[in-house]
Structure 1
Amino acid sequence: MRQHVKLPIGNLARRNPEPDGESAAMSDHDIVVYGASGFVGELVAKYLAEHAAAGTRIALAGRSEAKLMQVRQRLRVDWPILVAEAADEPALQKIAAATRVVITTVGPYAKYGKTLVQACAAAGTDYVDLTGEVLFARQSIDDNHELARATGARIVHSCGFDSIPSDIGVHVLDQQVKADGAGELTDTTLVVTSMRGGVSGGTIDSMRHQLDVVKTDGKLRRVAASPYSLSPDRAAEPDLGRQDDTATLSGPEIDLRLRGTLAPFFMASYNTRVVRRSNALRGWAYGRTFRYREAMSVGASPLSPVLAQVTRLGLGALMIGLSLPPTRYVLDRVLPKPGEGPDEKSRDNGHFTMDLFGTTTTGARYTARVRAKGDPGYAATAVMLGESALALVHDRDVLPPSEGGVLTPATALGDALVARLRSAGMEISAKRS
C-alpha cells in the first residue's frame, strides 16, 4: 500500500534538523500549535507556555486571527500568530516551511488534516497530532511515508491518550525483557485498571466521519477492520490468527492478580494497530509471535461478567446508532460536540492507570505500568502532546535513529519521550513478575 513519491530536488534540503544547527537558525519558529483556539489546542498551548524551556520559539496558528489573539491574551504570551484555513495549501506550506515542529489538534483529521501533514512531510518539518482514525493514518502512511523519508521529517501520529500509553508501555516492557535476556514478547495484554475522564467531542466526531466513509466503501471497511491496517507491509506480517478487539476476557487467565471479566477497551481498535506498526517498523523486535490486545476492568464483583458484556454490547450499539440517521440524530443531541470539554476541576480530577501483562518466549512473565493524573483525553493528553513536540525540538541527539517517515511515538521518540513524561509526573515502569 506504500506510495513512492518522486520529489523535486528543492524539497530535499532539510533533513533531520539539529536543535542548534543551521536548519534551526533557518526556521522562524521551533513549534507551531495549529488549532490553538480550539479546546484541546489551547490546553496544549497553555502547557507549553508553562513548561517549555526558556527560549523555545512558539507560534499560535489557526483559521481565526481574532480567536488566536484571545488565546494569546489569556496565556499572557507574546507569541506570533499565523492564520491559515485547513484546506489552504499555500498558507499551510508556508507555516510548515517556517517551523521545526507542527502540533495540530484540528480534527477529524480525515477531513481537516491531510493538507497540513503533507506540507510538513514535503518541507522536512516534524509533525505530531492526536489522531485515532485508522483510515486517516493509513492514507497518511501511503501518501507521506516515502516523502517524509526523503526529507527527513518525522511524522508522528497519535501522540495523546491515543496512543502513547499503549505504544510507550509496550516499548518499556520490551526494553526490560531485552535487558534481562528473557527472549521476546509473545502474548501481551494492556488492561485499563483505573480511569476517570470525560468523553471527547472530537473523538465522537472522528468516529462519525469514519463510519460514514466505511458504510459506502467495502475496501476501506476491510482496511479499518484489519488488525494490521497500519503495518508497513501486511504480507510480511506473521499469521497469528484472529486478533479480536471486541471480545470479553477472563482476568485470571491473563494474570492471577486480575479479577473478574474484562470488557473491551473502546480505544483498542486503534491503539493495537499502532503498537503492531511499531513492532513492524523495528523489524519485529518485540517478536514474530508478538500478539497484542487491550481490555478494560469493570471491577471484580460477581457482576463483572454482566458488566463486561453490557459494555461490549453498548460499544456495538453506539457504532450502530451513529451509523443510522434516526438514532444519530438523537445521539448528536446528547453526545459532546467538537470543541467542548470538561471544566478545569474535572480535568484536574481525572486520571488513568494502564497495566500491561506480557509473556516471553522463555516463559518469563513481565508487567509494565503507565499511570498519570489529569483527564486522559484533555489534561494528560496536553502533557503527552506537548512533551512529544518538545522532544523533537530539544532531544534530537537521543531520539531513536530514523531516516524519517510516518512513524509512531515509540519509533520516533522512544526513550526521550519516556524521560520527559516521567519528569512531567507520569509513572512509566516495567519489571519481571
Structure 2
Amino acid sequence: MTDKSDLLILGATGYTGRLITRYLSVHPQRKSFTFAVGARSSAKLQVLLEEFNLQSSIRTVQVDVTKPADIERAVKSTRVVINTVGPYWRWGTPVVEACAKHGVHYVDLTGEGVWIRHIILQYDFVANKTGAIIVPSCGYDSIPSDVTAYLANKTLKSLPTPLNVGTCTTVHGVKGGISGGTISSAITMIEDVPKKDARESAPAYSLSPIKGPPVPRVPLYYRLPVPGARPLIGAFFFMKPTNQALVQRTFGLLEYEARISNSKETQLSRYGPDFVYDEFLTMSSVFGAVSFTLLFGTVFFLFAFVTPFRWLAKKFLPQPGAGPSDEDMQHGYMTATNITKSTSEPPVYVKTVMKGKGDPGYLLTAIMISESALSLIFPPGSNINSPEAARAALPHLARRGGGILTPMTAFGDVLIRRLEGSGRFEFSSSVIEGDAKKRK
C-alpha cells in the first residue's frame, strides 16, 4: 500500500461517513483505487474497519480538524478529500485552506451558503493557482438542482439552432429523514455566523461572479405551468436558498467564461445572460402548499428568534450522527423535475427529470459525494486509475485549473454517467413544446 491514498474520508465514523465508507468498500471499481478513513478517535476507526471487514486494506488517519498540524498531515496524504465534518462554518475552513494550499482536490456535503461564500473569497484564487478542485455541496445539497439546470441547458443547446435559457424551475419531490447534521448547520447559521456575513450572503447571486436578472419573490404557493400537462403546485423548499445560490454560481462561472472566451465549448456551456433559477417543494393542492409555507415560516421564526424554542429543538430533533435504519433508507426516494423555458420567440420548453431510489439525505447523498470524488480518479468508462486522464475528461473550468467550483462546472457529464452507473439514479431531458426544426 502506498503512503498516499486516492481518497480520504474525513469524519468516517459519523453516520454519513460510515455510509460513504461502506459504499466505497464494495464499489465495482474498488480494486482500482485506495482510500483511507479519518476521524478523531483511533478506537472508533478500528471499530469501523472491523464492522466492514476492512482491516487489511484501509489506512486509518487520526485527525482532529481543530488542529492545523493534523489537517496538514492528513491532506498531504491523499489526492482527494471527502469531508463530512460539519457544521462547515465551524470546522470546514482549515481543511479547505490546506487543500487549496497543497493542490489537493476536495468535496463536501455543506448546505451552508454563507460558508461557501467565505471560502470563495478566501481560497478560490489560491486553489486556481495550485490546481485544487474544491467542490462544496456534493450531496442532496445541491446536486439535483445543479444537474437538472445543467441538463436543461444542454438540451436547448443541442437543437439545430442552440438556444439560451430563460426561466428554469426545479420541483422537488422527496421522501426521507431529516439529517441531524442539517439541523446542526441551521443552528450554527443562527447562533455562530456574524450578522454581517449573513446579510452579505443573502442576496441573489452572492456566490456568482456575475449578477443575473432579478429572481421572483417567495409566494404563498407556487404554480408552474407545464405545456401539455397539469401545472405543478408547491410550497417553499427549505433547501432552496443554498440550492439557488449554488446554481446561480454555476450560471455565473459559465457566463463569465463565455464572455472572455469565444470557443464553441464555452458558448454551448453558458446558460445565457437572462437565466433565472427558482425551485420549490411539490404539493398536491394549493391549500396544502399555502398551509405548508405558513407553517414553515412560523417554525423558522420561532427557531431563529425564540431562544427557548431553539433549546427545545436541540433536545428533541435528530442529533448529528443519527440517522434512519437501512430498511427505512431503502424506502426513500427523490424526484427533481425541471421545467425550463428558452428566451426565443416562440419559446421552447424542456422537461428534465432526475430520479433517485433511496433516502436522499443519507443513502443517495453517500453515493453522490462518492461518485463526485471518483470522477477525479477515473476517466469516463474506464477502470484505469489515472487522475491526469480523468481531469482531461472534465468540463473546461476543471481542466484549466482549480478553484471553488460547483458539481456541474467541476464534473458535468462525467458525474451524471457515474450516477447512472450506480443503478440508483435515472436522468431524462427533452423538449416538450416548440418546433425546434424551424430554428435552423
TM-score using structure 2 length:
0.87
CA gap of 1:45–1:254, structure 2 versus 1, over 3 A, is same
Describe how 1:398-417 pairs up with structure 2 within 5 A: 398-401=393-396, 402=398, 403-417=401-415
Task: Render the CA deviation track for 1:186-234: whole Å, top value 9, x for unaligned.
Answer: 0111011x321001110011011111245x62x22322321111112xx
Q: What is residue 22 of structure 1 aligned with on the other side?
A: none
1:255-404 matches, cutoff 5 A: 255=227, 257-259=229-231, 261-283=233-255, 285-299=270-284, 304-323=285-304, 324-362=306-344, 363-395=347-379, 396=390, 397-401=392-396, 402=398, 403-404=401-402
User: Quick one: distance in 2 between partners of 1:298 and 1:144?
Assistant: 40
Amino acid of the residue matched to residue 225 of structure 1? A
C-alpha separation in 2, matches of 1:371 and 1:210: 30
Match of 1:241 in 2: 214
Deviations 1:398-419 (A, max 9, x none): 1112310000000011111011
Aligned pair 1:226/2:203, yes or no? yes
Q: Is the 8 A contact 2:215 2:278 kept in 1?
A: no
Question: What residue is the counterpart of 2:142 in the other structure?
Answer: 163
What corresponds to 1:4 in structure 2?
Answer: none
Shift of 1:255: 4.8
Pick which of 351-360 and 309-318 moved more.
Answer: 309-318
3-state SS, counterpart of residue 392 of structure 1:
coil
User: Counterpart of 1:9?
Assistant: none
Partners of 2:89 and 2:220 in 1: how far apart? 28
- Counterpart mapping for 1:14-29 below 5 A: 28-29=4-5
Partner of residue 37 from structure 1, selected from 1, 10, 13? 13
Distance change (3 Å), C-alpha of 1:179 and 1:80: same
Partner Cα separation in structure 2 for residue 339 and residue 318 of structure 1: 23
Inter-CA distance 146–26: structure 2 relative to 1 (3 Å threshold): farther
Letter in structure 2 aligned against 1:314: L
CA RMSD of aligned residues (A): 1.7
Matched, 1:186 2:186: no
Partner of 1:110, secondary structure, is: helix
Look up the match of 2:48.
Answer: 71
- Report the Cα offset of residue 315 of structure 1: 2.0
Q: Which amino acid aligns with 1:330?
A: L
Which residue type is aligned with residue 137 of structure 1? I
1:182 Cα offset (Å): 4.0
How far has the Cα of 1:314 moved from its partner?
Answer: 2.2
Q: CA deviation at 1:256?
A: 5.3
* Cα distance, 1:334 vs structure 2: 2.3
TM-score, normalised on structure 1? 0.88
Q: Residues 114 and 198 of structure 2 are in contact (CA less than 8 Å); yes or no, is this contact kept in structure 1?
A: no
% identity of equivalent residues = 34
- Alpha-carbon distance between aligned partners in 2 of 1:294 and 1:260, rounded to the nearest angstrom: 11
Q: Which of the numbers 173, 178, 190 marks the counterpart of 1:199?
A: 178
Q: Deviations over 1:363-417 (max 9, x none)?
A: 1010101101010000000110110011111132311123100000000111110
Mapped to 2, the partners of 1:417 and 1:144 lie a distance apart of 24
Moved over 4 A (4+): none
Please say if residues 129 and 385 of structure 1, whose CA atoms lie closer than 8 Å, have aligned partners that are also in contact: yes
Kept after mapping to 2: 8 A contact 1:245/1:269? no
Contact 1:108/1:206 (8 A) holds in 2: yes
Distance 2:341 2:317 in 1: 39
Contact 2:220 2:289 in 1 (8 A): no
- 2:114 is the alignment partner of 1:138: no
Letter in 2 for 1:338: P
- Residue matched to 1:54: 31
Cα distance in 2 between the residues matched to 1:260 and 1:56: 43
**Aligned pair partner of 1:250 in 223, 232, 239:** 223
* Residue number among 408, 420, 423 corresponding to 2:421 in the alignment: 423
* In structure 1, distance between residues paired with 2:414 and 2:252: 20
Structure 1 pair 227–243 and aligned structure 2 pair: CA distance change class (3 A): farther
Distance, in Å, in 2 between the alignment partners of 1:260 and 1:174 is 21
Return the alpha-carbon distance in structure 1 between the equivalents of residues 373 and 338 of structure 2. Answer: 26
Q: Mark the CA change 1:354 to 1:329 in structure 2 (over 3 Å): closer, same or farther.
A: same
Structure-2 change in CA distance of 1:407 and 1:260 (3 Å): closer
